[in-house]
Amino acid sequence: MPTTAEANSAVRLGWKIAGEAKRPGAGHSIALHLSTGTQRTEDIPMSSFSSLASSSRRTGTLKRALQGLTLALLGAAGTAQAQSHPFGSHHQAYDASTLRVSAGAAAADSATSDFYWQWKSRYVKTGCQSDEHRIQASTGDGAYVVSEGQGYGMLIAVMMAGQDAQARTIFDGLHRYNRRHPSQNNPDLMAWAQDQSCKDILDHDSATDGDLDIAYALLLADAQWGSGGAIDYASEASRVLDAIAASNVNPTTHLVNLGDWAMSSDDPTYYYATRSSDWMLGHFRSFIGRAGADWSQVLSAHQTLIETMQNRYASSTGLLPDFIIDTNTTPRPAFAEFLEAPHDGRYSWNASRVPWRLGIDAAISGDARSRSAASRISRWIRGKTGGNPSNIRAGYYLDGRAIEPYNDMVFMAPFAVAATTDSGGQAWLDSLWSKIVSTAPTEDYYGDTLKLLTMLCVSRNWMTP
């Protein structure tokens, strides 16, 4: 019997029609064991850190000290992988109006890094081949891996470069895994689900969000490491973007579809439908001038639909539903059980990501339309909860009534990104940040991963290509 979290993950991911430290030797060297994916061990001269190691042993923090020194030590051994924008460098400019957490940059970086190591130990796994990595999602219906998680993992890996010496190894391993699981409809996209034995399951086709994040992460990898290594990241990004343009962008509405299985106009119910959590405005903005579609047109079409849906169906809240149908005529929230669950037309387990996706574009670009949409949601939830993050509930009707009586990190964390765009929301942002940081890992892939992604945004470690 699946747990509640597993059941929620199964609903959210949408199974369409499927039903279906080694001890120092001789006082001269120590072996560092990096704790995820394939184990790597490097022998480093003890003289490089003997005094710190001694101090750390006295305080019981040797492991953390070694983690903090890993990059520098591996560099001395000639094995470090150089990156252009290491974690904590804050090279990415945010708009001047975007709020910062009052805890300060150093504290925000430390909290994000600390949680990253916990997340990594739980969810980054080797694949079925030695050069692969995968993110363990374990959705409860046999899907050990989903393309959504692979995209998230690639985003996290490329942004944690410099903090984790294995970041590029993990990134490349995730990409190799993805390439070995092509969609049956467009082989340049990823089949969206595999079991623990790496067998494609549940329809063997794509899910739009996973491939959008994969393409974006490949562009970031080119900016971070260049494309002259084993993987030509720039070329791979162009390949995926071409495939997305061909199979995931509706040629009539210029909106992203549900997956490469929804490309037949003979089935208008799905052909003219879209998922709000796939509206990655910052991605579309970064894709402008690149392969595939007219991404400026794609960006504008989504911003227009956001305004329409907020004004027509959620004027007091700004909330968006999980799914929107009839996008070629009069767009409206999907009906119950349209694709996944009774709440397909409400702010539920998919749309929970909307404040993050809209918020990070507004926070960085300063775009007035994105900022208006994100801050509208933030002002409502700030008022709804009385400024107390503990009062957030897991899902809402578009008029603001709660669906469930409990809170969940899946819903709480993304609001923090939207809060950075809310000019009156400094205390709200600080309360959200404090609650997110102090909450122990949920041991649920979805909640923990969204937490880490939003922490990267709010700590100003997000990247654009």
Question: Active-site residues: which are they?
Answer: 148, 209
Q: Where are the alpha helices (DSSP H) in 44-124?
A: 50-59, 62-76, 105-123
Spatial neighbors of 153 by CB under 8 A, at least 6 apart, are 123, 124, 133, 134, 135, 170, 174
Count of CA atoms in the C-beta half-sphere (13 A) of 356: 23
DSSP secondary structure code for residue 353 in this structure: G
Give the span between the Cα atoms of 419 and 120, in whole angstroms: 26
Q: Is the dihedral of CA 359, 365, 369, 375 positive or negative?
A: positive
For 17, counting Cβ atoms within 10 Å of its Cβ (0-12 exposed, 13-18 middle, 19+ buried), the class is exposed
In this structure, are residues 225 and 232 in contact, taking their beta carbons and an 8 Å threshold? no
SS3 448: helix
In this structure, are residues 212 and 283 in contact, taking their beta carbons and an 8 Å threshold? yes
Nearest residue to 199 (alpha-carbon basis) of 134, 261, 136, 145: 145
DSSP secondary structure code for residue 402 in this structure: B
Give the span between the Cα atoms of 401 and 399, in whole angstroms: 6
Separation in Å, CA 374 to CA 20, 129, 188, 453: 36, 42, 32, 17
Strand partners, 45: 29
Residue 415 tokens, joined: 């609001």
Count of CA atoms in the C-beta half-sphere (13 A) of 409: 24
Separation in Å, CA 300 to CA 119, 248, 270, 357: 35, 16, 21, 15
In this structure, are residues 84 and 223 in contact, taking their beta carbons and an 8 Å threshold? yes
Q: How many CB atoms lie within 10 A of CB 390?
A: 10
CA angle at residue 367 from 363 to 371, to 5 degrees? 60
| Total residues belonging to the chain | 465
In this structure, are residues 351 and 276 in contact, taking their beta carbons and an 8 Å threshold? yes
